[in-house]
Chains A and B, each alone.
Chain A
Amino acid sequence: MHPFGDLSAYLDGALSSEARASVQAHLDTCALCRTRLAELRGTAQLIAKLPMPVPSRSLVPRVAVPFWLAPLRTFSTFASGAAIFLFLALAVLSSFPLAQSAGTAAAPAAAPAASQPSAFAVSGTPAAQSSPDISLSAPSVAPVVSDNRGAARASATPSDAAKEVGRRDQSGSSSNNVAADQPRLQAAAPQPAPFAFLLSPWLWLVVAVAFGALSIIVGRRLRST
């Protein structure tokens, strides 16, 4: 009887010494079993020579990495993106308020220029005489506005305007006027909001760069493990 069922185990050296000797004795006399044994050996060799498939990614879980590292990378990546968005948005938005403030500042500055000639015309004072007032009030907007109010009143009633200009001329040193205006200017100046610095686009650019660097560093750490 052919020991077909033992041929694979014989091939693999998995038989007991007695069983192996028995199969060996049979193989010495049986050509069919030798053929079957050769077929099984050839089959095993073919299976062993199959190409090795390669995984598309690393399959080893990164247990050596702190569990919070991957979420930190994700967070820093998103935070960097959000900061870039804020930087761009604030940079764009900040250009509009600048244009508006430039427009509002230009309007009062133009108003005295238009109204002063009428006041000067009333008093008949040469323009050169009023130049100290103009030059002193030029550095700040508030004196210009107050002068503008004065000029507006002067233009309302020519006699009052003449008195106003006369008071100015009599008041002596114009530096006294400026000194008197200083407390009013300080009181009228708008107080900066406590979190106004958050509206600076450059702050968000710095934040974006910081989070981007953190994301890269954490990513390298994750890849190196």
Chain B
Amino acid sequence: MRPEPGGASDALLDRARAGDARAFEQLALEIERPLYRHAARMLGHDDAEDCVQDALLSAWKSMASFEGTSFRAWVFRIVTNRALDRLRSRKRHPELPLDPPAENDDSASWAEPVATGHELADLAADREALRVVEDALANIPADQRAALLLRDVEGFAYEEIATITSTEIGTVKSRIHRGRLAVRNILISRGWKGSTG
């Protein structure tokens, strides 16, 4: 969906590996906004900037040891891990919100749409609907949210998401499906009847 940049970025990657700071900065600039988008949806806007900046600095420090081919996937892995670490740290503080209850994890529960409502396909242009989707994403478990965002927003393949989140492909498949289903159910609960496809 969003392929790794081409030959020019490969050359930049080689230069960055060799310690060229400007090459690294150019590579980082290309993915700065997607990284922030991902972190902001994982953590909220307040922590997202620090998370991305820390991750990019960490990437620069470890650049010489990077042996993969996808700089983008590698940095997304760092950002995702840091975001999940921060979320775990929040969970240790009782005043901060926890992940939602496990009932959203039930992939077998398909909420039935009410009789009157909008079709999902009509919602894309509706700002209110997008706000509902954002709320829904914020209320699903963090590991599902990470997998869903990496797939539906960033366009990573399941294999890449497995690498980024350090899990098996089967786990990625399950998380994405449960996450989508949870968001779908929240939308249905807000009155939309879903698409008849």
What residues make up the interface of A, taking CB atoms closer than 8 Å to B? Answer: 4-5, 7-9, 12, 14, 34-64, 225
In the complex, given contacts A14-B169, A59-B32, A59-B52, what are 8 additional A-B residue pairs having Cβ atoms less than 8 angstroms apart?
Answer: A9-B158, A9-B173, A12-B151, A38-B120, A40-B177, A43-B184, A45-B121, A47-B180
Interface size class on chain B is 35 or more
Give the one of B56, B157, B194 with max A CB within 10 A: B194
Contact with A along B29-41 (1 / 0, CB 8 A): 1001101110011
The distance in angstroms between the C-alpha atoms of A63 and B174, with both chains bound, is 39
Cβ 8 A contact of A42, one of B29, B40, B121, B174: B121
CA A53 – CA B129 in complex, angstroms?
17
Of B65-73, B88-96, B130-138, which binds chain A? B130-138
Q: How far does the alpha carbon of A41 sit from the alpha carbon of B194 in the complex, in Å? A: 10
**Known contacts A8-B177, A59-B49, A61-B57: A43-B187 contact under CB 8 Å:** yes
**B4 beta carbon closer than 8 Å to chain A:** no
User: What residue of chain B has the Cβ atom nearest to residue A39's Cβ?
Assistant: B194
Judge whether B53 is part of the interface by a CB distance below 8 angstroms.
yes
Which residues of chain B are near A60, meaning CB under 8 Å?
25, 28-29, 32, 56
Q: Which residue of A lies closest to B113 (CB)?
A: A39
- CB under 8 Å from chain A, chain B span 10-45: 21-22, 24-25, 28-29, 32-33, 35-37, 40-41, 45
Listed from nearest, the 3 A-B pairs whose CB atoms lie closest are A38-B197, A42-B120, A64-B21
Task: Chain A residues near B116: list those with CB within 8 A.
Answer: none
17 residue pairs of the A-B complex, CB under 8 angstroms, read A38-B120, A42-B123, A43-B184, A46-B124, A46-B129, A47-B152, A48-B152, A51-B130, A52-B33, A54-B33, A55-B36, A55-B49, A59-B52, A60-B25, A63-B24, A64-B22, A64-B24
